[in-house]
Structure 1
Amino acid sequence: MKNVLLVSIQIALGLLLFQNRNKFTKPIHLIAFTFFALLMIYSISSLLPILGEGVIVLKKHMNPEVFRF
């Protein structure tokens, strides 16, 4: 329930801070914006841990003496 509240607050802030509000002339625009915002939040929250693990694995396999001058 906490995540639902955070996502809804983020979408509401995005709508409030959106400069061109006159583009939301039809309800489908609001639905599309909400879907896009949810997609971006989901992709960022799911991809960042995967990328972080990849960096950790890459650091383990790197030879640090190569970078010393």
Structure 2
Amino acid sequence: MHFSQSVAIIQSQVGTIRGVQVLYSDQVSVHFYMPQDGVRLVFDPVAQRLKVIEVYNMKLVKLRYR
């Protein structure tokens, strides 16, 4: 997934995703950190492609199937 696609998805989920922090390092990576949801998205800083989806707190994650 491209960085801009993830921004659009996060913006469309305003009521569901409770808070997002963007951490940027041009040498290492770009992170979307969602502390209230227990998820971190890590992007490559050059290609701006999603590299890692990290779930660091399973108690905060709610899974839904459609």
The answer, yes or no, to whether TM exceeds 0.5 is no
Question: Which structure dedicates a bigger proportion of its chain to helix?
Answer: 1
TM-score (norm 1): 0.28
Question: Which structure dedicates a bigger proportion of its chain to strand?
Answer: 2
Structure showing greater relative contact order (alpha-carbon pairs closer than 8 Å, 6 or more residues apart) = 1
Higher-Rg structure is 1
TM-score (norm 2): 0.29
